[in-house]
Amino acid sequence: MNGANSYNICPRCGNSNALSSKYCSRCGGQLKVPEEPVVCHKCHTHNSPMSNFCRNCGAELKVGLQTKICPKCGKEVDAHENVCTCGYSFVTYQQTAPQTTPVVGASAAVDVRKKSKKKGKKVYNTKGGRGWAIALLILLLFFAYYIVCPPQLKSLTLRWGKLNDLDGGIAHAGISLYGGNYLYILVTALQGGTFRSIGIANTILIGMVVATVLTMIVQFVIYFVRCFTARRSKHAGWFYFAMFLLTAIIAGLFLLFNSITTSGFMKKIASAFVLPEGYKLGYAIWAIPFYYLFYFLMSLGARAKALKEKK
């Protein structure tokens, strides 16, 4: 076979392959294997590629100039020519961009990320997103129940026994006060125009409760929607981390100044964190920073998983 001067040019990358090649040696693309004619260098008669001698003049076909077929226009070109008259270059290896050829029998990689058709929209990961959202929604309801729900309503829904007396709520004075109680104090003071009489300490506690309740409402809407869309965010919740630090510092100051006696300059600072007379700090106040810390750690886990799946 006259394979020394005849080539099977890859239409994908322009690589010169042996005439009998079925796949390109450079890019792996499948090649067409036509019955490429061998042109006699003396009489220019087309011969079979299996011929050793010309069928018209008998000239030996293994010597002399032979031709190769241009894959672009199909024209016969002398073997020593590097460029066809149509402009196709036989030595340029990047005629067209190589394309990935799928391997037969290999399972295609599944992209678990749901890409948006709109340019610039964030990419979300949907693998396990629905179950993740449901679990975080249930935990959110638990946090809201424990931090916000007053003990009177708890006794009507899920009886906690003596737990309310043990943890003391956020603060207690005969009865444990939770977030719902502080929201009631806020509404009553605003309606009666007596907000200034609440005191700085109660105002700080009310601010913590209001910020936490608003965060929980936004979270509830997000997780409820994700229960249906199965979307899972890939970003860390730095807002939760900032709120964890803020609420933990506030809770620490309440614990410090309600357990020690101060004087001088420190007494002025302590006055903002000393509870009204007869009130004591409860353990449930620590549930607020713990709530923010928990969801921050969950967001870090989601972020780490998204980065792992991206690799």
65 and 166 inside one domain: no
Q: What confidence score (pLDDT) does residue 202 get? A: 87
Whether residue 10 is contained in a domain is answered as yes
234 and 134 inside one domain: yes
**Regions in the chain scoring below 50 on pLDDT:** 1-5, 63-65, 93-124, 159, 161
Q: What confidence score (pLDDT) does residue 98 get? A: 43
Q: What confidence score (pLDDT) does residue 36 get? A: 54
pLDDT digits (tens, 9 = 90+) for 11-65: 788 888 876 677 888 888 877 655 556 777 778 887 766 577 788 888 877 544 4
d(CA 223, CA 263): 48
74 and 130 inside one domain: no
Domain boundaries, position 67: 1-98
Whether residue 109 is contained in a domain is answered as no
Q: Which of 29, 64, 98 is at the close of a domain?
A: 98
180 and 286 inside one domain: yes
Whether residue 171 is contained in a domain is answered as yes
Whether residue 107 is contained in a domain is answered as no
Q: What confidence score (pLDDT) does residue 66 get? A: 59
Share of the chain above pLDDT 70, in %: 73
Count up the domains in the chain and report the number: 2
147 and 294 inside one domain: yes
Whether residue 80 is contained in a domain is answered as yes
Ramachandran category for residue 132: left, alpha or beta (phi over 0 → left; psi -120 to 50 → alpha):
alpha
The dihedral built from the CA positions of residue 11, 14, 20 and 21, taken in this order, carries a sign that is negative
251 and 139 inside one domain: yes
126 and 171 inside one domain: yes
Whether residue 24 is contained in a domain is answered as yes
d(CA 267, CA 28): 80
- 3-state class of 163 per DSSP? helix
Whether residue 128 is contained in a domain is answered as yes
* Nearest partner of 66 among 153, 4, 152, 143, judged by Cα: 4
Residue 30's beta-bridge partner residues?
23
227 and 273 inside one domain: yes
Residues ≥6 apart with Cβ < 8 Å to 273: 201, 204, 250, 253, 254, 256, 257, 258
82 and 130 inside one domain: no
Q: What confidence score (pLDDT) does residue 272 get? A: 83
Which secondary structure element, helix H or strand E, spans residue 124, and what is its range?
A: strand 124-125
262 and 128 inside one domain: yes
171-172 and 280-281: which strand pairing? antiparallel
